[in-house]
Amino acid sequence: MQKVAHYRRAIWAVQGRPTVESLVQKALQKAPQVADTKFDYHGGVTAQVASRSTNGAGTGIYFTLFSEGGSTGTVQNGGERVGRARPPQGTEFLKTGVHVLIEGNHIAYVSVGHTNDGQITQLVAKFIRANGAVDADTQFLFMARSNRKELDKLLKVGVKSIDLGVTSFMAAAEDMAAANLRGGLAQRKDAMIDAVKGIFGRDRSPEEIQAASELQASLHIGYDGRGASDLVPKLLGDLATQVSAGAEEFTIVTKSNVVITREKLVIKRDINVAGDDISLDPGSTFSALRDCLKDWRRDGILDE
């Protein structure tokens, strides 16, 4: 099943605290059984660690969330009756599940259903607080990286595709061509500019010009990686650097399939794991998250 793995980094209110991973490891030691890990998450919702992974890089936790004694809705098949159903004895209805892999102060996570930075932070912070952590050890927030220097380093790895407005593309490409007047790379840039200009050529009919103007909302530039020289991802990386410095929305995909957007410069990646819309297999998911952190470290995302 295809899911999206997200990267976040713990930002501490006070420097000099232990890493989040070391605090999680201590909490897991104090809660060796699943029943020991239960804690009150929020608004009558209980969370527990259904599975843990400590063999390999990082520390993995599978949080499962449920409401004790909660019921679910039922509907009569082919009829009008709407009712309620209680879970079987000794079980609860699963609300959602979140797999997190923490390495130092870095976290990769994937969830079934929607979640956000604040919810991920609260899950981890409340779990370690429930197992003996002092308040000072929970004063962190998982956030996406937004450092310009770090973004530039990531783009140097090479880019596979860029989605952005045509106006933004033309401005960036023109700047690049002006700075590189000679050589094959400059010719490639000129060719890209000419191709886009051709959409809005003078020989277009009024109807075609009107249709072309609607294309200004979005432009996709990319390659599939087959037969492309090393210059192609470099060229797109140069263009991405220009684009990301502008004010318009964009989506950039690097050679290693890291997705970067305007919103917080979010780092995320598609992964394939075993499971379905209800739950994901912990072993498969932790393995995929470890691969993500390994690749992101290689690309400099985890650099301090």
From CA 289, how far away is CA 57, in angstroms rounded?
A: 10
From CA 62, how far away is CA 276, in angstroms rounded?
A: 15
From CA 57, how far away is CA 302, in angstroms rounded?
A: 14
From CA 235, how far away is CA 186, in angstroms rounded?
A: 9
From CA 102, how far away is CA 24, in angstroms rounded?
A: 9
pLDDT at 217: 45
From CA 18, how far away is CA 12, in angstroms rounded?
A: 10
- Give me the amino acid identity at 71: S
- Choose among 120, 144, 162: nearest CA to 296: 144
Are the C-beta atoms of 144 and 117 separated by less than 8 Å?
yes
From CA 196, how far away is CA 115, in angstroms rounded?
A: 38
Half-sphere exposure of 172 (CA within 13 A, CB side): 25
Q: What is the pLDDT of residues 129-138, one digit of tens each?
A: 999 888 888 9
Supply the DSSP symbol for 87.
P
pLDDT at 175: 52
Copy the structure tokens of residue 127: 């779990």
Are the C-beta atoms of 228 and 151 separated by less than 8 Å?
no
Of the chain, the end-to-end C-alpha distance in Å amounts to 33
Coil, strand or helix at 271: strand
Q: What is the pLDDT of residues 83-134, one digit of tens each?
A: 999 988 889 889 999 999 999 999 999 998 888 888 899 999 999 999 988 8
pLDDT at 123: 93
Contacts of residue 102, Cβ cutoff 8 Å, sequence gap at least 6: 20, 21, 24, 58, 59, 60, 61, 124
Low-confidence residues in the chain, pLDDT < 50: 166-170, 172, 176, 181-185, 189, 193, 195, 197, 199-200, 215-217
pLDDT at 234: 60
